[in-house]
Amino acid sequence: MPYTYDDQNIFAKILRGEIPNDTVLETEHSLAFNDIQPQAPVHVLVIPKGPYVSYDHFAQNASDAEIADYTRAIGEVCKLKGIEDGGFRMISNAGENGVQEVPHLHVHILAGRPLGRMLDKA
Ligand code: 5GP
């Protein structure tokens, strides 16, 4: 499926510095910041700086340097937040069935409380 990136999405505006964010980590190709409506004591969003809509779009098109940086940034956030012992969940919603609200790739890192089952059965 061809992806069209909308550069007016809210995370593009965060990357351009047009709206503020609570930064957890910034690297050459990635930015991690706290979710504005946290659903757990730790709720960090990690995004690539490049114009990628979803994880598959990124994985199919990003450079090796971007992919390595993004993966390392996720690992660094887990270390910074001290969540390896208690455990965590990573979620990346995509498209309509994934109920993705912001069309710029983001991984949610959730931790700090029991997170329940992965999906309800509805
Ligand atoms: P999605 O449903 O697309 O996977 O999740 C989008 C996430 O972005 C939601 O958890 C929402 O709270 C978060 N979000 C939306 N707008 C903003 C914003 O302006 N700043 C921050 N930090 N998070 C946002």
Among 37, 43, 44, 93, the mutation site with the greatest number of ligand 1 atoms within 8 A of its Cβ is 37
Domain locations along the chain: 10-111
Distance CA 69, CA 95 (A): 24
Q: Give the pLDDT of residue 1.
A: 62
- pLDDT tens sequence across 69-112: 999 999 999 999 999 999 999 999 999 999 999 999 999 999 99
- Helix ranges (H only) for 48-97 are 55-61, 64-81
Which atom of ligand 1 is least distant from the CA of 108? Answer: 4
Distance CA 16, CA 13 (A): 5
- Residues having CB closer than 6 A to ligand 1 are 10, 19, 21, 33, 35-37, 93, 99-102
**Rounded distance from Cα 88 to ligand 1 centre (Å):** 18
The third-level CATH classification (topology) of the domain covering 10-111 is: HIT family, subunit A (3.30.428)
- Tell me the C-alpha to C-alpha distance, in Å, between residue 88 and each of 31, 61, 99, 115, 118: 19, 28, 21, 8, 11
- pLDDT tens sequence across 8-45: 999 999 999 999 999 999 999 999 999 999 999 999 99
Q: Is the pTM of this model over 0.95?
A: yes
Closest residue by CA, ligand 1 atom 21:
36
pLDDT band at 2 (very low <50, low <70, confident <90, very high): confident
Across the beta sheet with 107-111, the strand order is: 23-26, 30-34, 42-48, 107-111, 88-91
